[in-house]
Chains A and B, each alone.
Chain A
């Protein structure tokens, strides 16, 4: 059933990582991404890789499950690596007509590949261990300071949570409308590209009409329940930091120091 598709790819287990405050996980992910650009040595990659591996093990999310999510990105990964192999100049290792492979090329390709791999695994670790709802709350609370610079944080978070509720409904509706138009002889599988695009008009028009109708009714229902933006709004589940969240922040700082430090040491050794 389409309605069972969960957005993102939350993998429910009862690990410490799952129980962390979403703000902590958001910060950690951001920090991890930034740290990727702070080192340029093998040792740095090794340290980052080990840290990532440790977090994955603690999270109880099977590594194979994470790799499944990578499927669509393999192409990008390989593409980037090939690009780097062939287009970097340096000590030539192999040459055939205009194609040449250099030592530096191989190295950059390996680093780029690894860096991309870490980035993707690192950020999917967040979506795997945090429900979309927690993520929304985390963003709303964690980014509240941005209201000072007139970023409508609350509105964005509200939009996200409404989208989370209605995307499965609209997906199911799309399925139903497609079937209904098929029952009227519409054909979505045959014909040239233009024909296929045109065949989608009978699906998208009713879908948009329905989405607008839903939006209208929902807006009215929200107003009837006294919604008026975040004026004096309270929350049933306000985020509260626990001891483990403090520890997590400390670990993050240690990680950052470690990364910068290893890179310095690596520079001294090599």
Chain B
């Protein structure tokens, strides 16, 4: 679905007078291979290059070096832009700044309208998309009256109505409260499972990564770690080195192991912890 080879992106930083201050290499030799139907998380602190990847995938930025293919379209070719954006939809961080219309259903219709879809089909697609994110009841509301989590679900519906193969979400939960975060994360998991849509979730919240197929950790524009959540979480010291957090249970298990308590590596959930702990220390 998404394939990158030695992808690099550089931009020139200028000071106030417009003099060149230096060249920033936001992406540096990134190789990616994301298969259709995968749920992949990209982790990294701010400035690690993870948002640049999202913009590359959506052909908002053009690669400086290397190649990037999205749904077999080369992103460096101008004529592919609209096909790329249709097949890999994008959801941004700020829920307010990506909704265009002042009525929910009209906003969801915005994408298909741009694609020139006939009226009857737009109506069908909008109804279907709102159904999938569970927002049908709000179709005639104003986005201004919705919660952050609901607005993000509308943004997702707006992308779904374009019938994409893949959705790229650039820190979709950073501005939400815990309930909003849960709403959004469970919505995208469901889309991945039921509709088979490839999901690329860019985030810095470790706990959102737990149910993913694959995790990619970025730092300094490079891919520094890659693997299943369990593989990644088994290397807690490395994660901390890249300025990321661990879920509390993983951290606790790791701390205990360091103190000589027999705990396995890469614990992801409360249940796993309880299971591991009681099987070893029951009755003591």
Contact = CB atoms under 8 A, between A and B. Distances in A.
A253 interface: no
B114 interface: yes
Contact of B145 (A3, A223, A232): A3
With a 10 A CB-CB cut-off, give which of A168, A223, A225, A235 has the most chain B CB atoms.
A225
B127 to A, nearest CB: 11
Given A218-B97, A218-B98, A225-B89, A236 B115 contact: no
Given A234-B122, A236-B119, A161 B96 contact: no
A148 B36 CA distance: 46
A227 interface: yes
Interface string A119-146: 0000000000000110000000000000
B85 A226 contact: yes
A192 interface: no
A187 B145 CA distance: 31
B113 interface: yes
A217 interface: yes
Contacts of A228: 82, 114
Interface string A62-93: 00000000000000000000000000000000
Nearest to B116: A232
A51 interface: no
B126 A169 contact: no
Interface residues of A, number: 29
B101 A234 contact: no
Interface string B77-117: 00000100110011010101111111101100111111111
B143 interface: yes
Interface string A206-221: 0000000110011011
B113 A223 contact: no
A169 B60 CA distance: 26
Contacts of A162: 100
B85 A217 contact: no
B246 interface: no
Given A3-B144, A217-B97, A232-B116, A226 B122 contact: no
Contact of A224 (B90, B101, B116, B143): B90
Interface in A163-218: 164-165, 168-169, 213-214, 217-218
Contacts of A238: 119
Q: Contact residue range for chain B?
A: 35 or more
Contacts of A55: none
Contacts of B98: 217-218, 221
Contacts of B114: 225-228, 233
A234 B60 contact: no
A225 B122 contact: no
The dominant DSSP class at the B interface is helix
A97 interface: no
A132 B98 CA distance: 20
A209 B201 CA distance: 28
Nearest to A213: B97
Contacts of B223: none
B259 to A, nearest CB: 46
A151 to B, nearest CB: 21
B97 to A, nearest CB: 4
Contact of A165 (B105, B118, B143, B162): B143
Contact of B111 (A213, A220, A225, A232): A225
A169 to B, nearest CB: 6
B123 interface: yes
A162 B158 CA distance: 16
Contacts of B110: 222, 225, 227
A150 interface: no
B58 interface: yes
A234 B117 contact: yes
A226 B126 contact: no
Given A233-B116, A236-B126, A225 B159 contact: yes
A237 interface: yes
B108 to A, nearest CB: 9
Interface in A211-269: 213-214, 217-218, 220-228, 232-238
A169 B144 CA distance: 8
Contacts of A165: 99-102, 143-144
Given A161-B101, A233-B116, A234-B116, 10 more contacts: A133-B101, A165-B99, A169-B144, A220-B60, A224-B92, A225-B100, A225-B114, A225-B162, A234-B118, A235-B119
Minimum-distance CB pairs A-B, first 6: A221-B98, A236-B109, A217-B97, A232-B116, A226-B114, A165-B102
Interface of A: 3, 132-133, 161-162, 164-165, 168-169, 213-214, 217-218, 220-228, 232-238
13 contacts: A162-B100, A164-B102, A165-B101, A214-B97, A218-B97, A221-B98, A221-B100, A228-B114, A234-B112, A236-B106, A236-B113, A237-B119, A238-B119
